[in-house]
Amino acid sequence: MPKSVLVINCGSSSIKFALLLEDQNFRIHGLAENLGTPEARIKGVTVGNEPVDIRIPNADHKEALEVGLSRLATHKPDAIGHRVVHGGTLTKAELITDDIIEKIRAATPLAPLHNPAHLVGIEATQRLFPDLPQVAVFDTAFHQTMPAHAYRYAVPKFLYTEHNVRRYGFHGTSHAYVSERGSELAGSFKQGGWLVAHLGNGSSTCAVWNGESVDTSMGLTPLEGLVMGTRSGDVDPSMHSFLAKNLGWDIYKIDKMLNSQSGLLGLSDLSNDMRTLIEAAEQGNEDAALAIEVFCYRLAKSLAALSCGLPELNGVFFTGGIGENSAFIREKTMSYLPHFGFNLDKDINNNLKRGTEGRIDNGTGPQIWVVPTDEEGRIAKETATVVEHEVNQTVAKKSEQDIVAA
């Protein structure tokens, strides 16, 4: 089993990295943000809990990784785990080989904002640590337990059988960790029916029954589902033809609008950051107030819809940057779901320390929890499992060869 795992999460304009040592309480971690801009920088914590803050103006992913990982020089990891948003038809974490890299590249049309960045991260770490085992952990893998009636689109069958057009779902590492940890906190480890709301710049919901995903809000790509920071979420599919016919937009412009210029940013015409919008709404900005209302209503609507996949509903878990930190958004969302018997305790909700675990209902009805996600921990765990399996297979193969040779 690896004693230390380096976890890399390359996003479209940021990179999170963390070195998880055998003692899970200690992590060296960093965040490279605003990449490709003059404000690019790396912030984090290194050995001895020493803060790091390095300016890297206009740095791209490769440069940021090289600067960030150079800080780990004296703490070489035993293995590296990469978060990969879309694995296409891959169903579990995989040891990275040329074949797996090609499959990640082939899935790029399904996650154009993310997969290219993941490939940059893989290339950089292979160059910096050529002898280490590296593992890809896919956001889509946790949702491979969804039944066909949840993942098939009502489009011609050949699109599924010949082109893999289906619902995949994302944020799988987060939904897996939060549903597991949350059910443990609730005293029913991997048992019962739970709804998970992962809310950040990208947001999704998931229905989990006995520890397995049975439905989720994202689909073929991470654009389907909830209102997000810059993503529209669900829209009428005919919007594409409407914009093409009436505004003369091509498919690339429409795609960019729906992925990068919509969501909270599009509704508010101000920001994709929920904190900025709440502040603006408090000061009377009507567009910001509407963006928040649409976000919460659509979230509640999604949770209600996903509950159809559960034989019984034990409760809901809030996670992600918004879910963990915004009591206001949690309260507004739950206000749309009184018919489910939820009873949020406003005082407990408001007084829960930001970013901490806690139950926030009044003890009656389905439970309501805040469970901070730990995607890094989950990726490290899956990476260690894959590497250990690979080592065991190698040992077993060598033993067979020794027996034959004897």
As annotated, the active-site residues are: 139
3-state secondary structure of 111: coil
Six-digit token pair at 217? Answer: 């809000």
Backbone angles phi, psi at 311, to 5 degrees: -60, -30
Give which of 139, 1, 120 is closest to 69, Cα–Cα.
120
370/343 Cα distance (integer angstroms): 14
Chain centroid offset of residue 326 CA: 18
| Buried b or exposed e, range 291-308, using 16+ CB within 10 angstroms | bbebbbebbbbbbeebbe
CB-based burial label for 164 (10 Å; 0-12, 13-18, 19+): middle
Is-contact 101 50, C-beta < 8 A? no
Residue whose structure tokens are 């940059």: 120
Six-digit token pair at 340? Answer: 């489910």
Is-contact 124 66, C-beta < 8 A? yes
Six-digit token pair at 105? Answer: 């590249």
Give which of 168, 173, 176 is closest to 89, Cα–Cα.
168
Six-digit token pair at 350? Answer: 């408001």
310/214 Cα distance (integer angstroms): 8
Cβ-based neighbours of 178, under 8 Å, separated by 6 or more = 196, 198, 317, 319, 371, 373
Identity of the amino acid at 365: G
